[in-house]
Structure 1
């Protein structure tokens, strides 16, 4: 089965692991991923932030990497994509102020295409008005915001119809696996033969 074409919405101070890990993992299994940001073009970079969980009341934030975009936001057509990834971090709080971002998100839900969102990413989904009737999770501090948008809260990674959500990057193994299932990705593990002496 050929790989899918996946759109990823990113922005300055999105969570580093929640951008880098799915971006690379999805490509590693044969999918094409285009990372875009409003007002930015292919080759531009966004700054990421690393959120660490050390037992405080909230996460500790430190500077991450410069992540290079590989597509131009103004030139992409969501109809050309099979699925959407919406990472978390601080970027969603301002990305949701762009009408074009909300329209993109609505396309994937209207067309019932697979969507993966994690951490603060569901803030964008809530602003787009697409969560009514869904079961989902997100970073716990945004629970009130996303449930006010009409969804039911679940603790832990959850898949409901076309949407898979996780609370934060420690959920990556289950969250990415859930997204791969939605995409219909079939990964075959072959045996590794020992080299002859």
Structure 2
């Protein structure tokens, strides 16, 4: 089973971060949440997450999968050279990077969506050199992308399947009476 790290900062989309975290934890996966600013982070709608791990202490070698929730936080994440370096570490190692809503645009701007199928918040789609899909969640190689807040459950289950396998994902879907994909 893969070990996951997630990055948040002020302006994160709560449903994308908390919903994904909850589904992954239901599936028995370890998920550590790091704060870009090494302090509490307050989401778009005022939910403050405390006891987050400091991003300055994040060691990519300890994790198999990176999750990037969307929301207005994507601007701060994209402005951070350290975030780009972290994504590069994961990509260079062939580890999975999962991003939802505005998050995939960071991957697109860094060139990681070239030649790949992906999705993101529709109005933020640019010519990233890949194939944009209308699906709620898309996996292409080691990149998982999600469309929007409404896609959180589909996105989280695709991440869970990557992290823990189809059997665990299917068991977790059954446990919450999920009838989607």
Task: Return the TM-score normalized by structure 2.
Answer: 0.85
Report 1 or 2 for greater relative contact order, CA contacts < 8 Å, sequence distance ≥ 6: 2
Deviation (angstroms), 1:84: 0.7
* Larger mean Cα displacement after TM superposition, 181-190 or 6-15: 181-190
Identify the residue that residue 124 of structure 1 maps to in structure 2. Answer: 106
Regions of 4+ moved over 3 Å: 188-192
Residue aligned with 2:114, SS: coil
Q: Which has the larger radius of gyration?
A: 1
1:152 maps onto 2:131 in alignment: yes
Offset at 1:64?
Answer: 3.1
3-state SS of paired residue (1:84): strand
8 Å CA contact 1:139–1:168 kept in 2: the answer is: yes
Distance 1:87 1:33 in 2: 13
Question: Matched residues in 1 for 2:37 and 2:40: separation?
Answer: 11
Q: TM-score, normalised by structure 1?
A: 0.79
Deviation at 1:134, TM superposition (A): 1.4
Distance in 2 (alpha carbons) for counterparts of 1:112 and 1:168: 25
Structure 2 segments unaligned to the other structure (5+ residues): 176-181
Rounded to whole Å, the distance in 2 between the matches of 1:92 and 1:36 is 14
Equivalences for 1:158-173 in 2 at 5 Å? 158-173=138-153
Equivalent pair of 2:118/2:131 in contact (CA under 8 Å): yes
CA contact (8 A) 2:113 2:130 kept: yes
Q: What per-residue deviation string (whole Å, max 9, x for no partner) do you get for residues 142-197 of structure 1?
A: 112xx2x32221111211111121111211232122112222433274999xxxxx
The aligned length equals 171
Query: Which segments of 5 or more consecutive residues in structure 1 lack a partner in the other structure?
Result: 50-62, 193-197
Going by fraction, where is helix more abundant, 1 or 2? Answer: 2
RMSD over aligned Cα, in angstroms? 2.1
